[in-house]
């Protein structure tokens, strides 16, 4: 795997006939707010799901997305997806992860096409599942630590690619499982991840999501979020999240 694509440096393909170059699919990767290639993702339960179940409680979080170039010119480039929450779970259960455990943190899938479709989306229909499965074990002070099983299965990842939105917004489907409980979600996310907890009140502050500076309020720079994105500060995750829909093709 080679290095990932940068937001501002999309690779172009020029055909032999000299027609206008066709932009290849890119995934945001530049550094912003100390976050490299991270997207602020929100989870919406699909119809028919029971919101009271433990697996139906996913809150907004950071997702790492990265494009990998294939060393084989005949093979498609791929995208990796990594959940911050699953990474934290792997760290929490590290002492119980053995060779017999199932532990994988990054889902990977190939682009369906190297260039965006007519709707400006770059599609990754299928990705490898990610899983954390640890067996029951004996606690240091005695007693039994129960077995744990978490899984993220991503599909239909679609990354929006236009000059105005160069790989900085996505949608996806997710089947999430937790200790025998399974729920299905629609997911959407934007780059970059911007924290929005007021440093004085410690409360959510929508002003910190504003892409423009407010000199009168002492905010000397904007959030870095694309002004085209409708956003708010999520009160649980305290990051700026998308409130509207991914734009439609013109």
Convert the pLDDT of each residue in 90-134 to its tens digit: 888 888 887 666 778 899 999 999 999 999 999 999 999 999 988
All structural domains of the chain with their residue ranges: 12-194
Distances (CA, A) of 107 to 38, 176, 214, 250: 15, 13, 39, 31
pTM score, whole prediction: 0.84
Q: What is the pLDDT of residue 22?
A: 67
In this prediction, residue 45 carries a pLDDT of: 97
Are the C-beta atoms of residues 56 and 46 closer than 8 Å to each other? no
pLDDT in tens, 4-41: 444 434 433 434 444 556 689 999 975 545 555 699 99
Q: In the predicted model, is pLDDT for residue 221 greater than 80?
A: yes
Identify which of 175, 171, 237 has the alpha carbon closest to the alpha carbon of residue 49: 175
Q: What is the pLDDT of residues 146-202, one digit of tens each?
A: 889 999 999 999 999 999 999 999 999 999 999 999 999 999 999 999 999 999 999
The pLDDT value given to residue 236: 94
Task: Give the SS3 label for residue 76.
Answer: coil
Q: Is the pLDDT at 139 greater than 50, yes or no? A: yes
């Amino acid at each position: 795997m080679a290095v990932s694509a940068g937001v501002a440096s999309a690779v172009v393909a020029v055909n032999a006939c000299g027609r206008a170059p066709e932009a290849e699919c890119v995934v945001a990767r530049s550094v912003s707010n100390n976050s490299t290639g991270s997207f602020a993702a929100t989870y919406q339960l699909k119809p028919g799901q029971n919101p009271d179940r433990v697996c139906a409680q996913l809150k907004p979080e950071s997702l790492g997305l990265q494009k990998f170039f294939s060393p084989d010119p005949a093979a498609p480039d791929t995208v990796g997806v990594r959940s911050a929450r699953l990474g934290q779970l792997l760290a929490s259960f590290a002492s119980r992860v053995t060779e017999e455990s199932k532990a994988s943190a990054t889902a990977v899938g190939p682009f369906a096409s190297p260039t965006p479709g007519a709707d400006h989306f770059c599609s990754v229909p299928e990705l490898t599942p990610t899983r954390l499965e640890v067996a029951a074990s004996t606690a240091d002070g005695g007693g039994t630590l129960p077995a744990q099983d978490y899984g993220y299965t991503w599909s239909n990842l679609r990354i929006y690619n236009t000059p105005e939105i160069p790989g900085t917004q996505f949608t996806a489907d997710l089947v999430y499982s937790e200790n025998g409980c399974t729920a299905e979600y629609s997911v959407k996310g934007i780059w970059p991840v911007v924290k929005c907890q007021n440093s004085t009140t410690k409360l959510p502050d929508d002003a910190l999501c504003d892409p423009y500076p407010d000199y009168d309020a002492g905010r000397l720079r904007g959030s870095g979020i694309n002004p085209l994105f409708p956003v708010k500060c999520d009160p649980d995750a305290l990051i700026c999240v998308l409130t509207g829909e991914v734009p439609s093709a013109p």
